[in-house]
Structure 1
Amino acid sequence: MQAAGVAAPLKVDIREKRFRSTEGVGVLALRDLSFEVGTGEFACLLGPSGCGKTTTLRILLGLDRDYSGNIRMPVEGSHRIAAVFQEPVLLPWRTVEQNIRLTLPPSLKQVVLDELLEILGLSGLQTLYPSELSLGLARRVALARAFATEPSILFLDEPFVSLDEATADRLRRLLVRVWSARPTTALMVTHNLREALFLADRIIVLSSRPAKVIGVFNVDVPRPERDADQLDRLVLAFKQHFAGVEGFA
């Protein structure tokens, strides 16, 4: 968390975002959506499916500029932004290591990746191609590519969706390990409450569409202590705090 008086590296104030559906119907996706993410904080944006989480992330990544409001991005550090999406988005004609190095800035082109690959369980797989990887391994490569850039801020868009729970749990634990080893400001969108409670320092809770912030839940339990029993207690505390709010798995 940032020190008192230090400006948050990410400040979001989206007054309104509208788009037209494939059927030509106007949709109000976001309205009066405001939140901040502190320096070195791992925050989760939690909300029901379809509420506008991915739309918010697209705006933050600069992929959608058709909105009213203001976004302040990090002004210190590397100024680099990294993202991990729902699909690994690996180039099939490049090896694991080539895919990781593809987005590195000139200053990091010769960086040694051994430690990062070790943390993510990718040691010895550098010369494999995406077609030779399981989906779980491919998503590890996507994580490695993001952290290798040493970003000022990392965005994650439900990177473990569609995985079986055992694989997803392993990847969540690997994400905690690599983020702890290479800390950066991070914002992850998810509709999975237990996932958010396991990963985050703070959960920013969104309403159904049009999305706005309905509250914040601080996860004060140290990550090493967030076992199944502790997560059950956190789930109960969260649901008591947001009684009547539906849509969280």
Structure 2
Amino acid sequence: MQPVGAGVPLRVDIAEKTFKSAEGVQVTALKELAFEVRQGEFACLLGPSGCGKTTTLRILLGLDRDFRGSFQIPGAGDGNRTAAVFQEPTLLPWRTVEQNVRLALPKAMRDADLDRLFKTLGLADMRTLFPSELSLGLARRAALARAFATEPAVLFLDEPFVSLDEQTAERLRHLLLSVWSARPTTALMVTHNLREALMLSDRIIVLSPRPAHVVGYFDVRLPRHNRNPQVMEDLLRSFHQKFPGAV
């Protein structure tokens, strides 16, 4: 990875990523996977289950270094922070909601005023609760608060609303947009939910089945507040016309 300035895109150029299956078979997860996410853009990596989306995120987060290729994280060498929200909230059970959030902050920010963030995410009255006292939906809100509290230059999200009922997931998508819109940052989110991608993103990066490579891009240029149910149906039709059978 090469650190670059915060004004340039997130760049990914993974030539190949392989691993051995439980049966000892060599599997190619990613092959010639290359794309960019522009500064301040919210992009979604969309593809079928098992195609390599999460593997890509793990590489970008430095959790998997066994691959051929390279990537560049904006601002990585300038003290800018990268944050991630995973499928599981991974909150420390012996810490309160607020303590979990503040532990993610660098020392210089430990006393930061988080009132507005907690209020936006509907956590103002839950700061002193422990993870065991939270529903999964509330725990996911706490995980979002922890990520945004660091004021990251780049935000990675790995299907943060998976396994939630649709009503709860929809509420959290709106909360995510509320927080992100208040301080737009370069964001890359993994999902296999097309409606979710159309609602949240500026651009959808469409991946092939494994080994994943980029099939194409779908830009959503409409302001998010204009993406009403009728518009969403139009976007769905346009997407399926451009990428028939993609997801």
TM range (shorter): over 0.9
Aligned to 1:15: 15
Identity among equivalent positions (%) equals 66
The residue identity in structure 1 corresponding to 2:234 is R
Structure 2, unmatched stretches of 5+, are 1-5
1:39 partnered with 2:39: yes
What is the CA distance between 1:229 and its match in structure 2?
Answer: 1.5
Contact 1:78 1:152 in 2 (8 A): no
1:178 is the counterpart of 2:179: yes
Q: Is the 8 A contact 2:81 2:154 kept in 1?
A: yes
Q: Which amino acid is 2:164 matched to?
A: L
**Per-residue CA distance 1:91-146 (angstroms, 9 max, x = gap):** 00000000000110122111010000011000111100000000000000000000
Q: Which residue of 1 aligns with 2:3?
A: none
Q: What is the distance in 2 between the residues matched to 1:16 and 1:38?
A: 23
Q: Deviations over 1:14-57 (max 9, x none)?
A: 00000011121110000000000110000000000000000000
CA–CA separation in structure 1 for the residues paired with 2:103 and 2:16:
35
Q: Please give the residue correspondences for 1:1-249 in structure 2 after superposition, counting only pairs within 5 Å.
A: 8-75=8-75, 78-243=79-244, 245-246=245-246, 248=247
- Supply the distance in 1 between the matched residues of 2:79 and 2:40 (Cα, whole angstroms): 13
Letter in 1 for 2:142: V
Alpha-carbon distance between aligned partners in 1 of 2:79 and 2:206, rounded to the nearest angstrom: 29
CA distance in 2, matches of 1:165, 1:103: 29
CA drift at 1:7? 6.1
Contact 1:8-1:36 within 8 A present in 2 as well? no
* Unpaired segments ≥5 residues, structure 1: 1-5
Decide whether the 8 Å contact of 2:202 with 2:221 is kept in 1. Answer: yes
Compute the displacement of 1:78 (Å).
4.5
Q: Distance in 1 between matches of 2:161 and 2:204?
A: 18
Structure 2 residue matching 1:170: 3-state secondary structure: helix
CA contact (8 A) 1:198 1:223 kept: yes
The one-letter code matched in structure 2 to 1:11 is R
RMSD: 1.2
